[in-house]
Amino acid sequence: MTSTRLADGRELRYYDAAPTPHPEHDQRDLPAIRVASEARFDPLLGEWVVQASHRQDRTFQPPADQCPLCPSTAERATEIPAPRYEVAVFENRFPSLAQDVADVAPLVDGEPLFERRPGVGRCEVVCFSDDHDASFGDLSAERVRLVVDVWAERTAALGALDGVEQVFAFENRGIEIGVTLSHPHGQLYGYPFVTPRTGRMLDRARGHHERTGGNLFADVLAAERDAGTRVIATNGTWTAFVPAAARWPVEVHLYPHRRFADLGEATDAERDDFATLYLDVLRRVDALYDVAMPYIAAWNQAPVHTGRDLAYTHLELFSIRRAPGKLKYLAGSESGMGVFVNDVTPESVAARLREL
């Protein structure tokens, strides 16, 4: 790993399978970063909502020859000064959360119902390849393994920062999902709270353990593997399946066979096996409708300080595409009430993905 700084002081790290020098320096004249971020508490749902007004000015779907994630050239400087790289990680120029944010009054309008706090945390961009036209599914198993190692290292690094309670690694792919940069990349968020989804899952896992003595995630995995009807693929240490109560038209979960709290606890064999199985899944998903599938790939890892004895690291991949040329929109039931209505059965999607 090689660490350097961009012209505005943000950290940039290069990760290479073999030691590779990166002597280049960012020659741009960049203004100082100004982050306006705060978290406000929703008393009706008991959830924190991040307000980050400075993100309105972030780069939005530039043409390929203006991509800020491509390597720099003599003619154009980008976020990555090197002329080539394998995996690069840098602090987001337009972060939702940051370490250096202004303090805020503890209440909105002085109202005790409306708590607020500074948007303390960290947001990083993870570039998987210097090839603008590639996708994660195009990567070699060796490159995916390197990315897994990066996720593990950065999860530990962000989790060690003051104020961070949960680290979330994810990839958004496709303009249909809302991606603003098409270069193959993902992100890492260090949140100053445990996210609502994780908190709810851990509450369910805690109740299940009190009732049965078992781990909810492990029991779900065992049930899916026993049934087999929704299993897509498996190997020595991981299984990919469509969950029985899938919310999305295309939804695949990848579970390790052994429980661990976060990727830092995964063995070499588990990291290798994930790389091969995930590539298999991505290629099946892209073949489903014979078009590049828009998706979100979301790592579920344990919070930094709570629930680590219950959490079970796994990846959830889902897409809003429900058929060729058709998208699943979050309409009244989903957006208004949080009740998903799926247009396809999990069993039919799993069967099709197995065939592919």
- Residues placed in the known binding site: 67, 70, 132, 183
Order of strands, edge to edge, in the sheet holding 116-118? Answer: 47-52, 37-42, 116-118
Q: Measured between alpha carbons, how far is 97 from 166 in angstroms, rounded to an integer? A: 12
Answer yes or no: are the C-beta atoms of 266 and 278 closer than 8 Å. no
**Among 185, 209, 257, 314, the one annotated catalytic:** 185
CA angle 75/135/5 to nearest 5° reads 45
**Catalytic: 208?**
no
DSSP notation for 47-100 = EEEEEEGGGGGS--S--GGG-TTSBP-SS---SB-SS--SEEEEE-SS-SSBSS
Q: Which of 56, 168, 184, 80 is nearest to 122 (CA)?
A: 168
The helix (H) or strand (E) run that includes residue 355 is helix 346-355
Q: Which of 112, 108, 109 is nearest to 49 (CA)?
A: 108
The residues annotated with a catalytic role in the active site are 185
